[in-house]
A and B are shown apart, each in its own frame.
Chain A
Amino acid sequence: MSYIRLVNVTKRFGNVTAVDNLNLEIGKGECFSMLGPSGCGKTTTLRMVAGFEDLSDGEVWVGDRLLSSPKKHHYTPPENRNFGMVFQAFAVWPHMSVYENVAFPLRLRKLPAAEIEQRTKDALTATNLLKSANESPASLSGGGKQRVALARALAINPDVMLLDEPLSSLDPHLREEMRFEIKDLQRKYGFSIIYVTHDQSEAMALSDRILVMKLGVMQQIDSPLDVYNNPANKFVFSFIGVSSFTDVVWQSGAACIKGDNRPLPQGLVVPARMQGEAVFNLASRPTEIRFTNENDINAVRGVVMRKAFLGEIIDYLVKIGDQEVRVQIGRRDPGPETGEVCYLHFLRPFWYKVDE
Chain B
Amino acid sequence: MSTIKKDSGFGVAQIILLISIAVLVIFVAWPVLLILFNAFFVDGTFNSSDFYAVLTEPETFQALKNSLIIASMTTIGSTIVGTFFAWLVTRTDLPYKTFMKSLFLVPFMLPSFIGALAWKMLLSPNSGYINTFFMETFGLTEPVFNIYSYFGISLVEVMYLFPFVFIQVCGALERMDPTLEESARISGAGLFTITRKITIPLVLPSIMSGALLIMLYSMAHFGTVAVLGIEQGIYNIPTLIYEKIHQSGGSFDSIRTGTVLATVLVVTAALIIWAQQKVLSRGHYQIIGGKSFRPMELKLRGLRYPLLFFCLAYIGFTILLPTVVIFLVGGVSTYGLPLTWENLSLDNYKYILFEYEVTKDAIFNSVTLGLAAAVITMFAGVMISYVIVKMKVRGKGILEFLGMLPFSVPGSVIALGVILAWSGKFGINLYNTVWIILVAYIARYMAFSLKANSAALEQVHDSLMEASRSCGATMWQSLKDIVIPLVRPGMISAFFLIFLPALRELTVSIMLYAPTTRTIGVAIYTLNEDGETVMSTALAGIALIIIVCGQMLINHFTKKVSE
Contact = CB atoms under 8 A, between A and B. Distances in A.
Question: Are chains A and B touching directly in their complex (CB below 8 angstroms)?
Answer: yes
Nearest to B198: A93
A82 B187 CA distance: 7
A169 interface: yes
Interface in A54-104: 77-85, 87-89, 91-95, 104
A94 B202 contact: yes
B400 interface: no
B562 interface: no
Contacts of A79: 185-190
Interface of B: 177, 179-180, 182-190, 193, 197-198, 201-202, 204, 285-287, 289-291, 293, 296
A149 interface: yes
Contacts of A85: 182-183, 186
B187 A108 contact: yes
A188 B293 CA distance: 33
B187 A156 contact: yes
18 contacts: A51-B186, A52-B293, A78-B182, A78-B185, A79-B186, A79-B188, A85-B182, A88-B290, A89-B177, A89-B289, A89-B290, A91-B289, A93-B184, A95-B202, A104-B187, A108-B193, A156-B187, A169-B290
Nearest to A165: B291
Given A91-B177, A93-B202, A95-B202, A149 B183 contact: yes
Give 9 nearest A-B pairs by CB, closest first. A105-B187, A94-B285, A91-B179, A87-B179, A89-B290, A91-B183, A85-B186, A108-B188, A95-B201
Interface string A195-230: 000000000000000000000000000000000000
A152 B189 CA distance: 13
Contacts of B177: 89, 91
A83 B186 contact: yes
Nearest to A136: B285
Contacts of B190: 77, 79
Contacts of B286: 94, 138
B183 A152 contact: yes
Contacts of A91: 177, 179-180, 182-183, 289
Contacts of A104: 184, 187, 189, 197
A87 B182 contact: yes
A347 B276 CA distance: 68
A152 B187 contact: yes
A84 B186 contact: yes
Contacts of A138: 285-286
A50 interface: yes
A43 B285 CA distance: 26
Contacts of A109: 188
A149 B179 CA distance: 11
A319 B289 CA distance: 45
A149 B204 CA distance: 23
Contact of A52 (B182, B193, B202): B182
Contact of B287 (A50, A94, A162): A94
Contacts of B198: 93
Nearest to A90: B179
Nearest to A168: B290
A169 B190 CA distance: 28
A240 B265 CA distance: 68
A43 B291 CA distance: 11
A52 B285 CA distance: 25
A123 B285 CA distance: 25
A165 B289 CA distance: 14
Nearest to A43: B291
A127 to B, nearest CB: 15
B201 to A, nearest CB: 4
A65 to B, nearest CB: 15
A155 B202 CA distance: 23
A50 B293 CA distance: 14
A88 B182 CA distance: 12
Interface string A104-124: 110011000000000000000
A8 B185 CA distance: 26
A222 to B, nearest CB: 27
Contact of A89 (B186, B189, B291, B296): B291
A104 B287 CA distance: 18
Given A91-B179, A138-B286, A81 B189 contact: no
Nearest to B292: A89
Contacts of A43: 291
A165 B186 CA distance: 17
A126 to B, nearest CB: 17
A82 B188 CA distance: 7
Nearest to A81: B186
Contacts of B180: 91, 93
A109 B189 CA distance: 9
- Among B182, B187, B289, chain A packs the most CB atoms within 10 A around the CB of B187
A149 to B, nearest CB: 7
A156 B188 contact: yes
Interface in A150-167: 152-153, 156, 162, 165
A80 B296 CA distance: 16
A78 B178 CA distance: 14
A80 B190 CA distance: 9
A349 B293 CA distance: 42
A104 B185 CA distance: 11
Contacts of A156: 187-188
A176 B286 CA distance: 26
Nearest to B201: A95
Contacts of A105: 187-189
A77 B182 CA distance: 11
Nearest to A86: B183
A87 B183 CA distance: 8
A108 B189 contact: yes
Contacts of B186: 50-51, 78-79, 81, 83-85, 153, 162
A190 to B, nearest CB: 19
B378 to A, nearest CB: 38
Interface string A226-241: 0000000000000000
